[in-house]
């Protein structure tokens, strides 16, 4: 890997890691960088396996910390004793996240404000639909009927607005910071790297 590619890889990975760790800071429910991380990885990694690998690793690492330091205490009904490597509630999150990365790959081939706004809005909708469907599947509070599914979506609706605001905010921060960095570091100005 050339120096230019290593710098680019390092900056993109560092930004994704920092955004994922920001989930550990106090924040309103669902006002997180999850959608923005997926879009950012999808947009800037030329090697598409890295578009999935790095963001998923960052999401899993932040989930691991949150599950074991925060959520296991707040929601013991969903967590067993011991180290939590993966939460059953995360199935919908990871599926939605994968779809958001794919969205970033296809919609953000050209990164500009209209494409980024469209991708952020679609990411929020995808995340809402997939994660609330996942909650309906695994949460015993929802009957496994059409009424139960509608109840899961209705229960998630108040959180959708924070998801939307979080996706827009963090996409603005990640993509804006990277555009700013590209202007100051010529090594980042490439769309055809082997990264």
pLDDT digits (tens, 9 = 90+) for 1-17: 567 678 889 999 999 99
Q: How many Å apart are CA 44 and CA 123, to the nearest integer?
A: 17
What six digits make up the tokens of 113? 């404000």
> Would you state the pLDDT for residue 185?
85
- Cβ neighbours for 31, distance < 8 A, ≥ 6 positions apart: 162, 163, 165, 166, 169
> Would you state the pLDDT for residue 32?
93
% of the chain surpassing 90 pLDDT: 64
Chain centre distance of CA 22: 12
Do 3 and 187 form a contact (C-beta atoms < 8 A)?
Answer: yes
Better-predicted residue by pLDDT, 150 or 88: 150
Q: How many Å apart are CA 121 and CA 166, to the nearest integer?
A: 11
What six digits make up the tokens of 135? 């909650």
Q: Which of 59-73, 100-114, 134-148 has the lowest mean pLDDT?
A: 59-73
DSSP one-letter string for 139-178: -TTS-SSHHHHHHHHHHHHHHHHHHHHHHHHHHHHHHHHH
> Would you state the pLDDT for residue 90?
79
User: How many C-alpha atoms does 19 have within 13 Å on its Cβ side?
Assistant: 34
| Residues making up the chain, counted from first to last | 195
3-state SS assignment for residue 137: helix
Please determine, for residue 194, whether its predicted confidence score (pLDDT) is greater than 60: no
Q: What is the 3-state secondary structure (H, E, C) of 100-146?
A: HHHHHHHHCCCCCHHHHHHHHHHHHHHHHHHHHHHHHHHCCCCCCCH
> Would you state the pLDDT for residue 1?
52
């Amino acid at each position: 890997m050339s120096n230019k590619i290593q710098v680019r890889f390092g900056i993109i990975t560092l930004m994704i890691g920092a955004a994922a760790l920001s989930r550990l800071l106090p924040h309103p429910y669902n006002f997180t960088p999850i959608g923005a991380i997926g879009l950012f990885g999808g947009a800037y990694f030329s090697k598409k396996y890295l578009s999935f690998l790095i963001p998923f690793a960052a999401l899993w690492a932040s989930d691991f910390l949150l599950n074991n330091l925060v959520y296991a205490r707040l929601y013991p009904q969903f967590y067993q004793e011991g180290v939590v490597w993966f939460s059953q509630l995360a199935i919908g999150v990871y599926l939605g996240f994968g779809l958001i990365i794919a969205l970033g790959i296809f919609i953000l081939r050209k990164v500009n404000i209209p494409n980024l706004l469209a991708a952020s809005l679609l990411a929020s909708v995808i995340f809402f639909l997939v994660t609330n469907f996942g909650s309906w599947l695994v949460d015993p509070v929802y009957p496994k009927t059409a009424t139960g599914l509608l109840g899961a979506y209705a229960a998630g609706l108040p959180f959708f607005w924070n998801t939307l605001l979080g996706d827009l905010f963090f996409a603005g921060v990640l993509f804006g910071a990277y555009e700013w960095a590209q202007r100051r570091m010529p090594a980042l100005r490439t769309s055809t790297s082997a990264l």
